[in-house]
Amino acid sequence: MLESDRPKGRGTEARQRKARPITRIQREKQDLILEAALDVFSLHGFRGATIDQIAEAAGMSKPNLLYYFPRKEDIHKRLMAGMLDIWLAPLRHMDSDGDPIPEIRSYIRRKLKMSRDFPRQSRLFANEMLQGAPRIIDMLEGELKTLVDEKAKVIGGWMDEGKLNRADPYHLIFAIWATTQHYADFDVQVRAVLGNDRSGEGRFEDAACFLEQLFMHGLKPQRG
């Protein structure tokens, strides 16, 4: 009997279905589910979110949703993988051949832009961190750590050359993360404290100017 004449088992059929490229409609359905799940996860966290909540937010039945994502974990993992790639982009753009002060200033502004444009993703990431990052620890110890190690070495090199005041590059990066992501994770608090007169879109530019002054004053060498 030829190999092609052998009856195909369920495993073979499953692999064939998996290998087929998804259609435009399937991709649109997946995007709809992921967008709804982002709302639900960022509000309730992984533990508090349910498939029923995500299906309701997506405007589809639970069985229909489960056709595209059999488990809540599958949706969350897909979201986190895409989010981490977006989240690391500002740090990747830090140019080792550039002037360190403008490079760090630009990094601060890119991070604030992320907080302005992607607040749900920031809160999703924060929720995962508060739970001990059980579902993305491999990403943190892998891709994230590799990139931070690389950029910390770049910043350390600028300090060795006397272009920046001496400081711990890792804690500098952590400090930028903490101060910029605050405007996404604690947006309600920020707007409440600033009040109606200052809680509009201009709050991000105000934050950028302040953080530039804060970090640049500490990092820029004072020439005698």
Mind listing the domains of the chain with CATH numbers? 9-70 (1.10.10.60), 72-224 (1.10.357.10)
* Mean pLDDT along residues 86-101: 93
Local confidence band at 154 (pLDDT 50, 70, 90 cut-offs):
very high
Determine the pLDDT at residue 19. Answer: 52
The model's confidence at residue 82, banded by pLDDT at 50, 70 and 90, is confident
pLDDT at position 17 is 47
- Cβ(134)–Cβ(141) under 8 Å? no
pLDDT value of position 10:
46
pLDDT at 7 over 50: no
Query: Phi and psi of 156, rounded to 5°?
Result: -60, -35
Question: Terminus-to-terminus CA distance in the chain, angstroms?
Answer: 88
- One DSSP character per residue, the chain reads --GGGSPP-HHHHHHHHHHSPPPHHHHHHHHHHHHHHHHHHHHHHHHH--HHHHHHHHTS-HHHHHHH-SSHHHHHHHHHHHHHHHHHHHHHT--TTS-HHHHHHHHHHHHHHHHHH-HHHHHHHHHHHHTT-TTTHHHIIIIIHHHHHHHHHHHHHHHHTTSS----HHHHHHHHHHHHHHHHHTHHHHHHHH-TTT-STHHHHHHHHHHHHHHHHHHS----
pLDDT beyond 70 at 99: yes
Average pLDDT value over all residues in the chain: 88
CA distances from 208 to 16, 115, 184, 216 (A): 51, 12, 14, 12
CA 212/CA 218 separation, integer angstroms? 10
